[in-house]
Structure 1
């Protein structure tokens, strides 16, 4: 199991052993697939990451800091509640970064609008960038027969912040955190679409029953559509290969189509529940998964391990007809969809990244013709983005695409202060594959990661040094000038919660002056009695 990244301003640590990532673990890479028993998959979900370590102040030169487990005492919890401000501002009518009403990119994969970028992002700096804690949601209680449970999935609309809990989806007031509605489920959520329809409907995959001691997994066979504004489950369906109900690995939405993929093939439904297509038992190839948003793109796999052929197909979301296709070099086993418009795919060729990130190269592909525009080399020891393309086809973190550019964070390196670390965001031209020469610096002690695009500008999160709160900044797509949009409280209790919800292993949504950070796993209570949170929300005045 990989370890979270070392806290900023901590003295240099010895390098990890071979095969361990230099950045934090990808939570989705750690999520166990829910394949049928006997297929080599774990039968009990395991924690996506160890208990995160809050940043610690530097010690005198020559001494190493001891890493401490986050312990938020009852006093700290009360301090959080007392210090929580209540702030509300009506949402703008812009709503979407990607077309179709989608404003839910939880980890930096939202497509941009094209063009050259520049000024005029919809998120403007407030008069006071200091944020307050709007609310925090307690972590759900894990069952007696579980070590942990998946709580993947979070969405934001004009009227609700929705978050997966233990076998449920719950809608909360986006400013106050009061519960608005609950959609109960018979089993845990396995996967969740990062996209929504224009009228705020999304999709999830879940188990048909709760785990028990005798049967810790029931398989992820159920796909459902959720109306986020109304708080209703619209329908539940299964996908069959012949007469066999199959287990599903991923789910996405494009236009009004819900698409699901797996090692047994893919299927799709209209948002009304009408079946559009499914796998055929006679197929020698299968749709391992799909990328959604502005377009629908399939990763179609053919052949056996070691002689794999991957085809990246842009498909019609209604008929499933292949509109264009790019054949990757034979032998590439896995690929992740970073963006569907422009089309960008990531892959770890021959597992050469060496850091567990799932990325050695990016492929910029023409959606219309299926031709390769350019290939971008992104060595794992230089860049800190992460993808998990084995089963979670669309789960990439710490990167963004817009202005016909790919924005990546560099790996952390020494800063100017004693023991300090820092990094930058750089941009690659998707037509030429070359860096444009601009760099957005995190600043000493900070580490910066792209989250999403906002009308041609990059919205990024800055992981703070030990004595500061995190920041949200907007990076101008033309000049690369930074504008601070938010700075979180620097109090110890708040910092500790924030440190446990970093982009490497959590879901982050920023919009309209609010930041929502949430877990993807809930765990059994520890013997230390620590208070843990499912989500925390910040807002500026």
Structure 2
């Protein structure tokens, strides 16, 4: 049996077919706006009435049950594309950036209830998309200046750090808390570059820019990466911050140190494509005293569980090259992930795909739902969300977006969906 639905992007609508399986497919949103090579952001938010999805040509609000388009907002610029966004929204406002191809030079705020562009402003054009750290009533742009979400007025400037003394400029990460991290050199090499850093992590009041607490790492990072401008803070609830080479510190809400977690792969945690500056990593979750981290190491993948107080590893699903897990966003009642066989390289529509819940203490899996008809409708990497009885999969890439995998025949021919909704 096939379900036929009229879906729409920011532009015109399109008829799209998906098979009905054990987990029923409700609707899908096709890609729109040209090459998805430039879409390296998650950009999926929920309101009380809609699921809002950004694509390169604009933003659409859809009814979660039917996929009916409620409103659409094109990119606010001639010949431009949406080139970045924060995965976090606050006060009903999302912050994104647009620019011409190869440039990401303007930030704008979007009212998620109406689709109205509240404000936009030019920002310094860097070699990478601007950092957008959204928390409370403010957004910190490029780790320098905070602006009010409501009207774009300047709220406060980031406290300057003694960079001449070997300190990094510092990074801000948004979410449930606004967290700043910076490192200062404790050792330098023969060329005067930092060869070891000691990090300071702070919770920042979004309204004033003042630190509510500070934590100074107890260990040095002996492998600082001068080319990596983000990644020191992986999560802001709980706070999980880089402390040393391949190790992250879990902090209490008041900044008190908890467990030290050694994470294979170090700073490059999760998918780089979905881990833009200012946003917490989608590869970290916590529940009932267990911190869960997705691991990516070459072709092997795993989900590891750690005790948040001791930092000890409790369990692991791998490593494996045959199964891929992606943690579900918005799963407040447990540790939930999607599970796809051969999900990294083989996206055939016969691949098993299911939703599983992990026992926090043992890692034992409980299959909640399995699905048919997923496969080639999705891209190389997908972010999963639970919302009011539905599962939503947002893809960060589709056909033509990963040339190297296409060349070796690792991708199927059709990866057409930007967002797919399933009834649980």
- Tell me which interval the TM-score lies in, with the shorter structure as reference length: 0.7 to 0.9
Match of 1:278 in 2: 157
In the alignment, which of 250, 254, 261 is matched to residue 364 of structure 1?
250
* Equivalent position of 2:240 in the other structure: 344
Q: Deviations over 1:353-385 (max 9, x none)?
A: xxxxxxx2222234524x54332112239x995
- 1:391 deviates by 6.5
Shift of 1:475: 2.6
Secondary structure class of the residue paired with 1:230: coil
Equivalent pair of 1:151/1:519 in contact (CA under 8 Å): no
Q: Identify the structure with bigger relative contact order (alpha carbons < 8 Å, sequence gap 6+).
A: 1
Partner Cα separation in structure 2 for residue 397 and residue 379 of structure 1: 17
Deviation for aligned residue 1:523: 6.7
Q: 1:471 deviation in Å? A: 0.9
Determine which structure has the larger strand proportion and give its number: 2
Distance 1:509 1:390 in 2: 16
The correspondence of residues 453-468 of structure 1 with structure 2, limited to 5 A, is: 454-464=331-341, 467-468=350-351
Q: Taking structure 1 as reference, are residues 422 and 291 closer, same or farther at Cα in structure 2, changes over 3 Å only?
A: closer
Relative to 1, partners in 2 of residues 1:161 and 1:82: Cα closer, same or farther, differing over 3 Å?
same
**Counterpart for residue 173 of structure 1:** 63
Q: How many Å separate the matches in 1 of 2:120 and 2:232?
A: 27
Any residues of structure 2 matched to 1:220-235 within 5 Å, and which?
A: 220-235=104-119
Measured against aligned partners, the alpha-carbon deviations of 1:181-240 in whole angstroms (never above 9, x if no partner) come to 12222232232222222x432211222xx33xxxxx33x33222211121211111345x
CA apart distance, 1:319: 0.5
Q: Counterpart in 2 of 1:313?
A: 202
C-alpha deviations, 1:438-476, integer Å up to 9, x for none? 556899964334334634510111013564431112234
Go from structure 1 to structure 2 and tell me whether the alpha carbon gap of 1:142 and 1:399 turns closer, same or farther (over 3 Å shift).
same
Cα distance in 1, alignment partners of residues 153 and 74 from structure 2: 23
**Is 1:507 aligned with 2:383?**
yes
Structure 1 281/256 Cα, relative in aligned 2: closer, same or farther at 3 Å? closer
Confirm or deny: 8 A CA contact 2:198 2:243 kept in the other structure: no
Report if the CA contact (8 A) 2:174-2:280 is conserved: no
- Alignment partner of 1:516 out of 359, 375, 392: 392
> Residue by residue, what CA displacement relative to the aligned partner does 1:264-301 show, whole Å, maximum 9, x if unpaired?
x4221122123112358997366543222221101335
2-structure distance, mates of 1:226, 1:253: 12
Residue aligned with 2:377, SS:
helix
Q: In structure 2, the residue corresponding to 1:195 is in which secondary structure?
A: coil
Distance between the aligned counterparts of 2:213 and 2:334, measured in 1?
29
Q: CA RMSD in A?
A: 4.1
Q: 1:478 to 1:452 in 2, by over 3 A?
A: farther
Report the counterpart of residue 422 of structure 2 in structure 1: 539
- C-alpha change, 1:82 and 1:444, in structure 2 (3 Å) is closer
* Partners of 1:459 and 1:230 in 2: CA distance: 31
The residue that corresponds to 2:189 in the other structure is: none
Range moving further from structure 2, 306-315 or 316-325: 306-315
Q: 2:22 is matched with which residue: 125, 130, 133?
A: 130
Cα deviation 1:19-77 (Å, max 9, x = unaligned): xxxxxxxxxxxxxxxxxxxxxxxxxxxxxxxxxxxxxxxxxxxxxxxxxxxxxxxxxx9
The residue number in structure 2 matching 1:195 is 88
Q: In the comparison of the two structures, how many residue pairs are matched?
A: 373
Quickly say closer, same or farther: Cα 1:523–1:289, change in 2 above 3 A: farther
Cα deviation for residue 422 of structure 1 reads 9.4
Give yes or no for contact 2:202–2:214 (8 Å, CA) kept in 1. yes
- Name the SS for the 2:311 alignment partner: coil
- What residue in structure 2 maps to residue 427 of structure 1? 305
Match of 1:43 in 2: none
Alpha-carbon distance in structure 2 between the residues aligned to 1:341 and 1:481: 24
Hey, what's the Cα distance between the residues in 1 that align with 2:325 and 2:398? 26
For residues 27 and 420 of structure 2, what CA distance do their matches in structure 1 show?
5
Q: Take 1:468 and 1:530, find their aligned partners in 2: how far apart are those partners?
A: 15
Do the aligned partners of residues 497 and 174 (structure 1) sit closer, same or farther apart at CA in structure 2, a change above 3 Å counting? same
Alignment of 1:143-182 (within 5 A): 148-150=37-39, 152=41, 153-182=43-72
DSSP-derived class of the 1:509 partner: strand
Q: Deviations over 1:513-534 (max 9, x none)?
A: 3222233356769999954424
Distance 2:318 2:207 in 1: 43
Secondary structure of the 2:17 match is helix
Scaled by the length of structure 2, what TM-score is found?
Answer: 0.73
3-state SS of paired residue (1:396): coil
Quickly say closer, same or farther: Cα 1:302–1:200, change in 2 above 3 A.
same
Q: Classify the secondary structure of the residue corresponding to 1:252.
A: strand
